[in-house]
């Protein structure tokens, strides 16, 4: 009987930086210690895609196997750090960069889709010069009905709330922004609106598009990612009305079609959010990001579905998969423990998150 070749699960979470390097023809910026550890721990979630114990998990840095608790129905994969010599059975968190792929993961591509399908926020624009930035901020000012609107400039190659420039009203900051836009060869500028909820939709783009989950995103007030909240039984979070869930689903399928036409096949997701308009009304923005890769939300759905087969997770309940630091709270299922040799080390867990 032939022995199955091990699947290599390569959690290359810092691939956005490699894409930036390819697109801008510049050197990659080094990751700091805390960021490397946080991305390594997030990458350990990728092991949920393993078929059996023979598979290999590759994270940015080596992670001790003792930090990955044994859980029923979850394979105990071997763990490695760095980048492997690719085998025929390799699965990447994000495909290795090429010029063509860099175009698909750029926020400029997402902004074009927003414009093409009328998902764009009032005043949002791709800017590549100081003059274009001034025009965009004036448009945001007019749309917001405020003389001091809040806005944010986002790098074309970043994720999880990194590489953003916030409007502060400080002239020295604006000078720094001017240099930053020139160096990054453009950025997407958007109004920063009062958000009441964030959502993610994940699945597959290909000959047959598949929507696997619509869940809540747990973000900081400035949009930094901290986890996801989802139902153990329903693929679509019950916190969405049926109409809003359908709007996000329709947007997901529209984006999938555009990705396939551009030549991309594989996992992807979109982000959406609910916000308060200047007039005090609540609106749903169905496309704020396109992520042509695996995401924590897609993996969270798989972790929950797998653990629901055991007695660890009850049916018909709400849970949150969180990325944090230190020991998981009481009652949580630890997925990756903190490093006892490091103060406030990164960790991951699933905890009860009751509510609608």
The answer to whether residues 121 and 285 touch, using CB atoms and an 8 Å cutoff, is: yes
**CATH number of the domain within which 185 lies:** 3.30.1490
Asked whether residue 138 is assigned to any structural domain, the reply reads yes
pTM for the whole thing?
Answer: 0.93
146: domain range? 122-191
Average of per-residue pLDDT values in the chain: 90
Tell me: the pLDDT tens digits for 117-136? 888 888 899 999 989 988 99
pLDDT of residue 168: 62
Asked whether residue 142 is assigned to any structural domain, the reply reads yes
Asked whether residue 186 is assigned to any structural domain, the reply reads yes
Looking at the 3D structure of the chain, how many domains does it have? Answer: 1
Q: What is the DSSP string of 200-250?
A: EEEEEESSS-EEEEEEEEEE-TT--EEEEEEESS-SB-TTS-HHHHHHHHH
Asked whether residue 277 is assigned to any structural domain, the reply reads no
Asked whether residue 179 is assigned to any structural domain, the reply reads yes
Asked whether residue 169 is assigned to any structural domain, the reply reads yes
Tell me: the pLDDT tens digits for 16-50? 889 999 999 999 988 888 889 999 999 999 999 99
Tell me: the pLDDT tens digits for 187-202? 999 998 889 999 999 9
Task: Give the residue among 59, 51, 90, 115 at the shortest CA–CA distance from 266.
Answer: 90
Asked whether residue 63 is assigned to any structural domain, the reply reads no
Which of 29-33, 161-165, 207-211, 351-355 is least confident?
161-165
């Amino acid at each position: 009987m032939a022995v199955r070749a091990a699947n290599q699960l390569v959690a290359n979470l810092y691939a956005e930086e490699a894409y930036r390097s390819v697109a801008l023809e510049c050197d990659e910026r080094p990751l700091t210690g805390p960021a490397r550890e946080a991305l390594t721990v997030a990458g350990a979630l990728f092991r949920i895609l393993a078929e059996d114990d023979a598979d290999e998990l590759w994270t940015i840095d080596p992670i001790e196997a003792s930090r990955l608790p044994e859980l029923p129905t979850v394979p105990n994969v071997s763990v490695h750090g760095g980048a492997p010599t690719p085998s025929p059975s390799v699965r990447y968190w994000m495909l290795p960069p090429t010029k063509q792929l860099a175009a698909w993961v750029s926020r400029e591509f997402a902004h074009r889709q927003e414009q093409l399908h009328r998902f764009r926020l009032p005043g949002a624009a791709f800017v590549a010069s100081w003059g274009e930035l001034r025009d965009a901020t004036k448009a945001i000012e007019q749309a917001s009905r405020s003389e001091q609107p809040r806005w944010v400039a986002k790098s074309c190659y970043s994720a999880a709330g990194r590489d953003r420039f916030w409007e502060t009203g400080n002239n020295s900051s604006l000078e720094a922004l001017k240099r930053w836009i020139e160096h990054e060869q453009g950025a997407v500028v958007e109004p920063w609106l009062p958000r009441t909820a964030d959502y993610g939709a994940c699945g597959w783009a290909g000959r047959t598009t598949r929507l696997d989950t619509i869940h809540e995103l747990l973000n900081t007030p400035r949009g930094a990612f901290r986890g996801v909240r989802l139902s153990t039984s329903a693929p679509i979070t019950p916190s969405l009305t049926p109409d809003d869930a359908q709007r996000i689903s329709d947007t997901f399928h529209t984006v999938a079609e555009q990705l396939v036409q551009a030549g991309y096949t594989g996992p992807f997701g979109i982000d959406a959010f609910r916000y308060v308009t200047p007039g005090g009304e609540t609106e749903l923005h169905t496309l704020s990001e396109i992520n042509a890769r695996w995401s924590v939300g897609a993996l969270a759905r798989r972790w929950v579905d797998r653990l629901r087969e055991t007695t660890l997770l009850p049916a018909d309940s709400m849970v949150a998969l969180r990325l944090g630091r230190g020991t998981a709270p009481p009652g949580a299922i630890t997925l990756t423990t903190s490093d006892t040799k490091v103060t406030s080390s990164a960790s991951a867990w699933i905890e009860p998150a009751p509510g609608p």
